[in-house]
Amino acid sequence: MAANIQQAHIEEITEPVKRFILDTFLPGEDPSALEFDTPLISGGIIDSISTLKLVTFLEEEFDIQVQANEMNSDNLDTLEEITSFVLSKK
Amino acid sequence: MQTHHDTLHGLLEHSAARRPAHTAVEDPERNNAVSYGDFNANADRLSEALRRIGVTGGDRVGIYVPKSIASITAVFGILKSGGAYVPVDPGAPPRRNAFIFQDCAVKGIVVANDLIEGLKAEFDDTYTLSVDPLSFLDGFALPVSLVRVVKSGEQPAQPSIANLSYILYTSGSTGKPKGVIHTHASALSFVRWTSDTVAFTEDDRFSSHAPFHFDLSILDIYVPMQHGATLILIGEDLGKTPARLGPMAAERKITVWYSTPSILRLLVEYGNLDQHDFSAMRVVFFAGEVFPIKHLKSLLEKWPHPVYYNLYGPTETNVCTYYKLPPTIPEDQVDPFPIGPVCENDRALVVDLDDQAVAPGAEGELLITGGSVMQGYWNLPERSAEAYFVDAEGTRWYHTGDIVREAAGGVFIFVGRRDRMVKRNGYRVELGEIEAALYRHPAVTEAAVVATPNAENGTIIKAFLSWSDGKPRGMIEMKKFCADNLPKYMIPDRFSSQPSLPKTSTDKINYQALKELD
């Protein structure tokens, strides 16, 4: 039961983030090409300005606060990392 | 007094006197040819016809004829009459061509008969156009006429240029073409430099790939005439059909080739070069754009024997730097070759935005002065003045708009177009550098990058790509590829796959058309 709740939480976070990244930074891209572990910052998909946009989205969508020193590729480089990061803030 | 040493048509007259029976020009598409003696005589007849309609020293005469023995006869006939020729693209809209002819107030136009009606429709009733067939050229399978142009009312003043030889109209940033003025002296300076740099003989057979309204044609037209060699005309259709162009070059035993890299790339890809004998080919010139190294390597695999030269120079200067390629390209080379040292008849300077010389090795704009440089733009005194930097000694240096840096031995490395530098996130970005990185992708056949202003980000960089296997790659793959090859701030925002990229009438990538694509 607990695992299912966790799984549901993950999808609630991952899906809107994925949609936001596809719509904002990857228009026209095949959605299945954006995988859980696709590198976003190191892979050139989001740059520093795009990272700010992503963080603003995360703050508004999930009602969290992100510190400036947290906005880096350790926390935000993949969908997986972003999801864990958001969960850790909840 | 002028002698045949001082004029472009003097080159033809000299060879016609020496070798009248030798073939001067061949037209493979119409399967005809002309000897030096007949060619010179036909040009004389045309110059008489021009004088009869009043053409005299410095008058402009248009050429609106597909490439043919008739069109090259028009070149020399006009020069012999004392006039200057103004060639236009026969495939361009008649309105644009009529604009050019009216802009430089031509006294006459040599026109292919089937283009006369379309052209006439673009002249209003202040003009009277009278048509005289040039039937002595009928044997060359492309009937042409001389159209006399008379304008009623007050005539606007036109510049007076001593020894004017031709005006080539190039696309202007304002949307209206602007005419680059060359004299006999500036063209001859370049023609003689070419002959001093590369040894040619009367047995050479030159390609004439570039259309006559494109500056590459100056080498094609005049260098063979100087040596009594043979010129093989390549018309608009043949020139763009590599499956016929390759076999033709082999069959006609072309020895000196000159074209843009785009055409050479198409020849490698679609010209069936393996199936033909190119052992006659001994010199290959290319110019007009950067030759991506991977395509150049493929060319050298197909044609290993010729000596290759990268020629550089805007229409305004003729060729002004040149680089002789080494016989083989190092395996690990990814950067294009340099544009080379300045030609011996010109001088070069690298300057900053204030026209001050930069430190040796630093990037700056290339300025050129010397024998091969234009006189200015026709009827555009302000644009002409802006085009030059005048130094303390009064020397006029032409602003090429190209950013270079000087390496050891006075060799210039091309960095990019000044107008292709954009600012993004505060960084200076050279769009050509992004293109060079994209060409490193093994499946990329063509790459072009444009920047468009964007309210939110300042600049949006879009990459247009075509693929050797026709399979478009997704944005994630391409962004990752760029991230591995470029600084982050240079990664394009958008990628668009095309079957092939649009080209201009001079076979360069058409950036204007790309900007209009989305």
Q: What is the 3-state secondary structure (H, E, C) of B175-193?
A: CCCEEEEEEHHHHHHHHHH
Q: Write the single-letter amino acid at B21.
A: A
User: Strands B32-35, B256-259: parallel, antiparallel or unpaired by DSSP?
Assistant: unpaired
* Residue spans of alpha helices (H) in chain A: 2-25, 48-62, 73-76, 79-89
> How sure is the predictor about A1, in pLDDT bands with cuts at 50, 70 and 90?
very low
pLDDT of residue B464: 97
Residue range B472-486, pLDDT digits in tens:
999 999 999 998 888
Taking CA–CA distances from A21, the nearest residue in chain B reads: B476
Q: Is A73 left (phi over 0), alpha (psi -120 to 50) or beta?
A: alpha
For residue B12, give both structure tokens.
């033809």
Between A10 and B367, the more confident residue is B367
Please give the span between the terminal C-alpha atoms of chain A, in angstroms, as a whole number. 20
Taking CA–CA distances from A45, the nearest residue in chain B reads: B479
pLDDT reading at B412 higher than 60: yes
Q: Write the single-letter amino acid at B499.
A: P
> How sure is the predictor about B53, in pLDDT bands with cuts at 50, 70 and 90?
very high
pLDDT reading at B307 higher than 50: yes
pLDDT reading at B516 higher than 80: yes
Q: Read off the pLDDT of each residue in B380-386 and give the average, rounded to a whole number.
A: 93
Which range marks the domain in which residue A33 is found? 2-89
What whole-number distance in Å separates Cα of residue B226 and Cα of residue B203?
A: 12
Asked if B263 and B224 count as a contact pair (C-beta separation under 8 A), the reply is no
Q: Read off the pLDDT of each residue in B137-155 and give the average, rounded to a whole number.
A: 94
B483 vs A26, A27, A42: nearest CB:
A42
pLDDT reading at B1 higher than 50: no
- What average pLDDT is seen over chain B? 93
pLDDT reading at B266 higher than 50: yes
Residue range B197-238, pLDDT digits in tens:
999 999 999 999 999 999 999 999 999 999 999 999 999 889
DSSP SS3 for B23: strand
Q: Read off the pLDDT of each residue in B35-42 and give the average, rounded to a whole number.
A: 98
DSSP3 helix / strand / coil % (chain B, rounded to 5): 30, 30, 40
Q: Which candidate in A40, A41, A46, A49 is best for mutational testing of the B interface (most B CBs within 10 A)?
A: A49
Neighbouring-strand partners of residue B299: none
- How buried is residue B230: exposed, middle or buried, by Cβ count under 10 Å (0-12/13-18/19+)? buried
What whole-number distance in Å separates Cα of residue B295 and Cα of residue B470?
A: 17
Q: How many CB atoms lie within 10 A of CB B163?
A: 19
Neighbouring-strand partners of residue B232: B26, B207
Q: Do B483 and A38 touch (CB under 8 A)?
A: no
Taking CA–CA distances from B485, the nearest residue in chain A reads: A44
CATH number, domain containing residue A38 = 1.10.1200.10
Between B262 and B252, the more confident residue is B252
Q: Do B488 and A48 touch (CB under 8 A)?
A: yes
> How sure is the predictor about B20, in pLDDT bands with cuts at 50, 70 and 90?
very high
Say whether residue A27 is in contact with chain B using an 8 A CB cutoff.
yes
> How sure is the predictor about B393, in pLDDT bands with cuts at 50, 70 and 90?
very high
What is the arrangement of strands in the sheet containing B60-64, beginning at the earlier edge strand? B127-133, B144-151, B108-112, B60-64, B84-87, B164-170, B178-183, B376-377
Q: Read off the pLDDT of each residue in B68-95 and give the average, rounded to a whole number.
A: 96
What whole-number distance in Å separates Cα of residue A73 and Cα of residue A82?
A: 10
Asked if B68 and B57 count as a contact pair (C-beta separation under 8 A), the reply is no
Residue range A56-75, pLDDT digits in tens:
999 999 999 998 888 888 89
Say whether residue B454 is in contact with chain A using an 8 A CB cutoff.
no
Residue range A9-68, pLDDT digits in tens:
788 999 999 999 999 999 889 999 999 999 998 898 988 778 888 999 999 999 999 988
Say whether residue B491 is in contact with chain A using an 8 A CB cutoff.
yes
Distances (CA, A) of B407 to A18, B328, B350, B376, B410: 48, 21, 12, 30, 6
What whole-number distance in Å separates Cα of residue B330 and Cα of residue B145?
A: 53
pLDDT reading at A8 higher than 60: yes
Number of domains in chain A: 1
Rg (CA), chain A: 13
How many interchain CB pairs under 8 A, A with B?
37
What whole-number distance in Å separates Cα of residue B278 and Cα of residue B300?
A: 12
Write B330-335 long-range contacts (CB < 8 A, 24+): B333/B293, B334/B293, B334/B436, B334/B440, B335/B293, B335/B436
Q: Do A27 and B494 touch (CB under 8 A)?
A: yes
Q: Read off the pLDDT of each residue in B3-12 and give the average, rounded to a whole number.
A: 85
pLDDT reading at B2 higher than 80: no
What whole-number distance in Å separates Cα of residue B363 and Cα of residue B54?
A: 51
Asked if B464 and B450 count as a contact pair (C-beta separation under 8 A), the reply is yes
Q: Determine which of B355-359, B394-398, B486-490 has the lowest per-residue pLDDT on average.
A: B486-490
Taking CA–CA distances from B458, the nearest residue in chain A reads: A49
What residues in A contact B483, CB-CB < 8 Å?
Answer: 42-44
Percent of chain B with pLDDT over 90: 81
What whole-number distance in Å separates Cα of residue B88 and Cα of residue B63?
A: 6
Q: Do B457 and A49 touch (CB under 8 A)?
A: yes
